[in-house]
Amino acid sequence: MNQPILITMGDAAGIGPEIIAKAFRDSPADLAGCVVVGDVATLRRAAALTAAATGTLALPVAQLDGLAEAPGVPPHCMAVLQKCELLAPVPYGLVSALAGRAAAESIVWAARAVLAGEAAAMVTAPIHKEALAAAGGWAAGFPGHTELLQAEAAAFLGKPVSQVPVRMMLANDELKTVLVSIHLSLRNAIEAVTFDNVLQTLRITHRAVSASLGRPPRIAVAGLNPHAGEGGLFGTEEQAIIAPAIAAARAEGLDVHGPFAPDTVFMRARNTPGKPGEFDVVVAMYHDQGLIPVKYLGVEQGVNVTLGLPLVRTSPDHGTAFDIAGTGQADASSLIAAIRMARQLAG
């Protein structure tokens, strides 16, 4: 890959900088060609923390003036672009408006670089939604990565945000799930289960997963209600909304099946060495319905992928972990998995 993969540092008060430092230290082959976008002092602190926890020398951190310098960075060295305002490293484990703004600035710079064709993909370390809100101004208008990247993509394409629909996919080696809605209250998420939203999710899932598999995916659809409504006894959304959307998708040639009982469909789709799954991906109706099964199988290997964007974006399947930030205990496995997936998707 000729172009770099950009890694945004995430919230400086959380474990993002630490897992980035550990990924560069422990998996140099996977991190080859990667450039961190964030605060140099924060990344140097993370490298020192990682070294102190293991009694080794600190990973060298090279500050770049531009992406053109990336190919000249030697192995076993973290390349960083200073692209945010952070006068001094913030305290670990505390919500900080400064950290929220710095995280948002890093994300925006990286997204614009990828959209402009200057980088191949972006991998985002975890941010803290309270810190983002505390930052105020433009950053506070976005509840998370997905919405911020959607807005940047829409601006790049010259379209309203409503015309750049995105979906979240959480994936590991055993299971992939895509969500009809993302960060909504449960009450609002139920209201978001509409014919148009379900059909749009199926179309986005088909396009994105086809590209990664090299063939049309087998898509299973979870019902909204227990037992997928049990023929209308426990709810009619399956009959009135979800099944018609599936029928419409099948009429377009998509390999879609369901709606299935939510408490069993994920087991049917799970892919293990001894038993391949019946489906390549499950479309879930709301956030926790789809994410709990994947996270239960192992947060350390889970990867969050934003589908529908005109760029490749992946992230680890965990948050900022303020409770262990600064202790040297953070696990970089999910970040490394996200980098591997970004490289695969970027081709």
pLDDT in tens, 32-68: 999 999 999 999 999 999 998 787 888 999 999 999 9
% of the chain with per-residue pLDDT over 90:
84
Residue type, 221: V
Model pLDDT, residue 299: 64
10 Å Cβ neighbour count for 184?
Answer: 16
Q: Are residues 135 and 205 in the same domain?
A: no
Angle between helices 333-346 and 16-26 (to 10 degrees): 70
Model pLDDT, residue 1: 60
pTM confidence score: 0.90
Model pLDDT, residue 269: 97
pLDDT digits (tens, 9 = 90+) for 272-308: 988 999 999 999 999 999 999 998 887 677 899 999 9
Q: Are residues 138 and 257 in the same domain?
A: no
Q: Are residues 185 and 242 in the same domain?
A: yes
**Residue 235 near residue 272, CB atoms below 8 Å:** no
pLDDT digits (tens, 9 = 90+) for 135-152: 999 998 888 898 999 999
- CATH number of the domain to which 70 belongs: 3.40.718.10
- 196: buried, middle or exposed (CB in 10 Å: 19+, 13-18, 0-12)? exposed
- Is residue 52, in this structure, part of any structural domain at all? yes
Strands (E), the chain: 5-8, 34-38, 61-64, 78-82, 121-124, 167-171, 176-179, 219-222, 256-260, 281-284, 303-307, 313-316
**Residue 36 near residue 7, CB atoms below 8 Å:** yes
pLDDT digits (tens, 9 = 90+) for 77-97: 999 999 998 888 899 999 999
Average pLDDT, the chain: 94
Q: Write down the residue that tokens 């020398």 correspond to.
A: 57
pLDDT digits (tens, 9 = 90+) for 190-216: 999 999 999 999 999 999 999 888 899
Model pLDDT, residue 212: 82
Residue type, 235: G
Q: Are residues 269 and 191 in the same domain?
A: yes
Q: Are residues 13 and 67 in the same domain?
A: yes
DSSP state of 139: G
Residue type, 345: L
Determine which of 12-16, 98-102, 140-144 has the lowest per-residue pLDDT on average: 140-144
